[in-house]
Structure 1
Amino acid sequence: MPTKNINFPISKSQFINFTKCSNSFYLHNQNLIEKTNTPHSGSLEWPEFINLCMSYFEHSVIIPRSLSKDSQKKETQEALENKHTIFGGYFESEEYASYIECLSPDITREGWILYDFRPVSTAKLDIIRSLYFQKRLLESLGVIISDVKLIRINSEYQMTDNLLDRDAFLITESLSEKLIKESGRFEEVWNLFLAYQTNHIFPSVDEVYPTCKSPKSCYQPDVCFQESQSYEIFDLREGHELPKKLYHMGIKTFEEIPDEELNQIQKIQKNAHVSQNTHFDSNQMSVFLEGTSETVCFLDFESINPTIPIFPNTRPFQHIPFLFSLHIWNPISDELRHFTYLHPPEEGDPREKVLKELTLLIPKNTTIFSFNDFFEKQIISDLIKIFPEHSEFWNAIHLNFKDLALPFKKFWIYSAKQKGKASLKEILPAFSETNHVGLSIREGQDANYQYLRLLKKQVTQEEKIRVLEDLVSYCKMDTFGLFVLYKMIKENLH
């Protein structure tokens, strides 16, 4: 495919794209991908987080994004000459450009401290890569960088009252040593990056430049992985680099894959795809269901996990339940009852009421099925720490949980219709007519975002009513889906 010249200046985000996939870099650089902004809970908290970080600095200048690039550069340069702390400064050379979160004069020595503000608990590699790019750019423009720092979140911080302690909540960490430690690896990638700019290939399929592993993570699979929709090998579970290797060998189907290339789970998957028969390990499933009570429960929570604590005695990123759905099934009478509790957002902290409602509804000595039950157990365990008067309830039920995701993760049950996936939303339609299609909310992250909007009063009254209804419908579908899967398993065992 004929390629066009690389567009300059190259942005920081484009460089980060290159480190993962050179094809992704080319697509973004040539503006061949439409930018999308998916709302998420972090976007609701970003202004508050940024303001907390900025409050550490005096004599600062904010460069407005509403200005033209030329005006941004001019105001940034003026702030630099006046040795003011600069927020959102725009720096550009002929080759590269980047907005800088914060650049502050170093009062202890000559130079400037390059800052990044991130609502995370650890300095992940992409953050260090971003700062590496920015440091190179600034130094190429004659700006002396004396230190590189990250202001991030202390995930161990607990807000004890309704007032946030900024200095305990935020951590300022120097990343200069980490940049030195990673310099060899970063320089190697940078040299590849330079080579690609003058000798670029699109789409790149060899291993000279970084490329993604699968069309599922590709921006334009019809270009980078031509006809990949007919290659079922990309549904291979635990495949890592293998599907890509098979793709370049011209292998499309599971039937063509040599058995010696596959582990035990992949062999189960291959047999299911080739035979089009569902794999069901009756022995493993009988063991899995040992000790299950006759009447059974199906439980699911929805939660928020705010970056900045909202309620007393909570930590950053801690999951705060605001909604649960509970189905209880008696197989003898075939009676399926549904219970739910959604905490009114205007009533504040939902935790105590959620726990109290749950204690009234879950029968004693009853098996409780959840999907990835670690989450449900962690939610209740955290609640008991705050409300120890309900410890007896937790002690009575915590051994009654069974994880209904386990049989599908372990491939004791597998259908080719799952296409290698093991999420509830993929499993349900593979074994039943039940699915999440038609729901306004289909993901836990969206439920998180929507309830946080309610707490922050960023909805109209009409929207609020609709969102509350959508939240209940979504959570109810999850527990009803668990019931459907459980019935399917029981029917296959008889």
Structure 2
Amino acid sequence: MARHQLSKSTFMRGCQCLKSLYLNKHHRTLGICKDPLSAQQTAIFAAGTLTGQLAQQTYPGGVDCTPESFYDFAPSIVKTRDAITACAPAIYEATFMANGVLALMDILVLRDDGWHAYEVKSTNSTKDQHIEDAALQYWVMRESGLPVVSIHIMHFDPAYVRDGAIDVQELFTDDDVTEAALGKQDAITRQIEVEKAVLTAHAVPAIAIGPHCHSPYACDFIGHCWSEIPPYSVLNLRGKSETKWALFNEGYRMTRDIPEGTDLQWKQQLQVNADKTGETTIDKAGIAAFLERLVYPLYYFDLETIMPGVPIFDHSRPYQQICVQYSLHIQHEAGGAVEHFEFLGDGTDADPRPPLLQQMIADLGTAGSVIVYNESFEDGRLEEMARDFPQHAAAITAIRARLIDLADPFRAKHYYAPEMRGSYSIKYVLPALIPELSYNDLAIQEGGTASLTYLQMVTGTFDGDIDQTRRDLIAYCTLDTLAMVKIMAKLKAAVTEGQS
């Protein structure tokens, strides 16, 4: 059996970028390296595999046609054909090849009226790219001679709440995308021919970088295609994406080269002006109005979460942010010393939220401003915990009423320095205002790594030094709230500077 020219994954790659499709096949010959997978990306792929296996339980008793080798699909194609002939009630990883295109259907189900196909996605909803994916699958099955009655995207039901053992019938739901897939069949045929031609071409397609490099997924050739783009360029201009790409396509590379009179949003103009002059903008009145909202004692508070697709704990939903850790610095009076408090779950399969809530409510007291950075995150998590643990709802609601967002003066550009590069994220604000305090000195430097590490502990897949890693998690979260203490002091100094 001849080897396939396109698979579902390579076809979808070509839909995003034909250059990426070509490089994926020829990069070794061309001496081009793919970008390495991050730990988070690896975890996402692994979770997708486990989700597919879990979804098979919704249609038990099926024939598993998963290929034993991803270098030889012929046995799986034969096994699928035999299972169809034998009228198996369900087929897992049903494998088809037609006109050089390979597709593996996650679940095929036989009903009285014929075969129904289910493509499983570890998401909470059907995305546009999923429909394109399903349309290709439908095309291959049809060309293989299998009449498919319907095709569906199966995904997690975001309304599912775990209560005891996972109920797979309730965990998953599906959307019938047959009509949409049928409507794409002619386009799929044309796209396949385009992609086959690209793969056999003798030159890399001349496709410039653009928004497609990150949509719907970050391409693994960004390191190659973007190699001549400076670390900070017009593509770091915040605000409307169309503006930065228009400037880039006009030949501008650095923000300082953007000509006067260019139609920019006011925040973009502020960013460009700061890059050109190197000057910091400080609106003392705006900052003072923010500071007037503060009520002592001040509680600088930061939550860390995990977000498993399949709920691990009772009273949780697919991809719900589960609070596992917090850091808290308390300043009882202006200019006074700060105390530090912390919580970190034990990293087992025991739900960390009940003990976290008990300690958090005690630590945050009943009066004083609770300072967070990007309020929507902490407020959202508190709201969810009030819903899931109604016995604490009154106390949590009272805490939510005390929240103050330290990002506000930076979001409003009351304080803006060129080093912030148009962002109000604490990861940019901190080095701009307090360069001696850096996340770069930590073993865990950002929230994605912290979340993945704790999740691996819970699921038993972590193979590092647990005691040291717990110290690293605490150090990371502690810096978040210490940074807020230092940033607040900087804001107060900015208002009083020059006053006698």
Relative to the length of structure 2, the TM-score reads: 0.85
Listed as ranges, the matches of 1:212-227 within 5 Å are 212=213, 219-220=220-221, 224-225=225-226, 227=228
218 and 348 in structure 1: CA distance in 2 versus 1, 3 angstrom threshold: closer
Quote the offset at 1:220 in angstroms: 4.4
Tell me, what secondary structure is at the counterpart of 2:252?
Answer: coil
Return the match for 1:109 from 107, 113, 116.
Answer: 113
Instruction: Say which is worse superposed, 286-295 or 385-394, in terms of deviation.
Output: 385-394
Paired AA for residue 359 in structure 2: E
Listed as ranges, the matches of 1:8-407 within 5 Å are 9-31=5-27, 32-34=32-34, 36-40=36-40, 42=44, 45-46=47-48, 49-67=51-69, 68-69=71-72, 70-84=74-88, 85-105=90-110, 107-110=111-114, 112-159=115-162, 161-180=163-182, 193=195, 202=204, 204-205=206-207, 211-212=212-213, 219-220=220-221, 224-225=225-226, 227-229=228-230, 232-258=233-259, 259-330=261-332, 332-346=334-348, 348-407=350-409
Quote the offset at 1:477 in angstroms: 1.4
Quote the offset at 1:403 in angstroms: 1.5
407 and 30 in structure 1: CA distance in 2 versus 1, 3 angstrom threshold: farther
Instruction: Say which is worse superposed, 235-244 or 180-189, in terms of deviation.
Output: 180-189
141 and 35 in structure 1: CA distance in 2 versus 1, 3 angstrom threshold: farther
Counterpart Cα distance in 2 of 1:391 and 1:329: 26
2:372–2:405 contact (8 Å) kept in structure 1: yes
Instruction: Say which is worse superposed, 174-183 or 195-204, in terms of deviation.
Output: 195-204
Counterpart Cα distance in 2 of 1:331 and 1:489: 16
Paired AA for residue 102 in structure 1: I
Counterpart Cα distance in 2 of 1:24 and 1:115: 28
| Unpaired segments ≥5 residues, structure 1 | 1-6
| Unpaired segments ≥5 residues, structure 2 | none
Paired AA for residue 263 in structure 2: E
Paired AA for residue 465 in structure 1: D
Paired AA for residue 488 in structure 1: K
Instruction: Say which is worse superposed, 181-190 or 222-231, in terms of deviation.
Output: 181-190
Q: Equivalent residue for 2:444?
A: 441
1:18–1:193 contact (8 Å) kept in structure 2: yes
Instruction: Say which is worse superposed, 23-32 or 465-474, in terms of deviation.
Output: 23-32
Q: Equivalent residue for 1:481?
A: 483
Counterpart Cα distance in 1 of 2:223 and 2:327: 41
1:301–1:321 contact (8 Å) kept in structure 2: yes
Paired AA for residue 124 in structure 1: K
Q: Equivalent residue for 1:450?
A: 453
Counterpart Cα distance in 2 of 1:185 and 1:284: 54
1:22–1:211 contact (8 Å) kept in structure 2: no
185 and 436 in structure 1: CA distance in 2 versus 1, 3 angstrom threshold: farther
Counterpart Cα distance in 1 of 2:354 and 2:227: 54
Counterpart Cα distance in 2 of 1:203 and 1:319: 41
Paired AA for residue 15 in structure 1: F
122 and 198 in structure 1: CA distance in 2 versus 1, 3 angstrom threshold: same
Instruction: Say which is worse superposed, 273-282 or 229-238, in terms of deviation.
Output: 229-238
The total of aligned residue pairs comes to 482
Quote the offset at 1:240 in angstroms: 1.1
Quote the offset at 1:459 in angstroms: 3.7
Quote the offset at 1:254 in angstroms: 2.3
Quote the offset at 1:278 in angstroms: 1.7
Counterpart Cα distance in 2 of 1:203 and 1:147: 36
Deviations along 1:110-143, one digit per CA (max 9) or x if unpaired, are: 4x32211122221111111111112222222222
Quote the offset at 1:326 in angstroms: 0.3
Deviations along 1:191-244, one digit per CA (max 9) or x if unpaired, are: 76577567797453469x995389x96654576456321772111112413333
Counterpart Cα distance in 1 of 2:405 and 2:312: 30
340 and 225 in structure 1: CA distance in 2 versus 1, 3 angstrom threshold: closer
Deviations along 1:231-283, one digit per CA (max 9) or x if unpaired, are: 72111112413333322322223233243321111110011100111222223
Identity between Structure 1 and Structure 2 (%): 23
Relative to the length of structure 1, the TM-score reads: 0.86
Tell me, what secondary structure is at the counterpart of 2:475?
Answer: helix
Paired AA for residue 465 in structure 2: E
Counterpart Cα distance in 2 of 1:342 and 1:22: 46
Q: Equivalent residue for 1:3?
A: none
User: Superposition RMSD on alpha carbons, in Å?
Assistant: 3.2
2:304–2:447 contact (8 Å) kept in structure 1: yes
Quote the offset at 1:331 in angstroms: 5.4
2:138–2:181 contact (8 Å) kept in structure 1: no
268 and 185 in structure 1: CA distance in 2 versus 1, 3 angstrom threshold: farther
252 and 34 in structure 1: CA distance in 2 versus 1, 3 angstrom threshold: closer
1:329–1:337 contact (8 Å) kept in structure 2: yes
1:322–1:342 contact (8 Å) kept in structure 2: yes
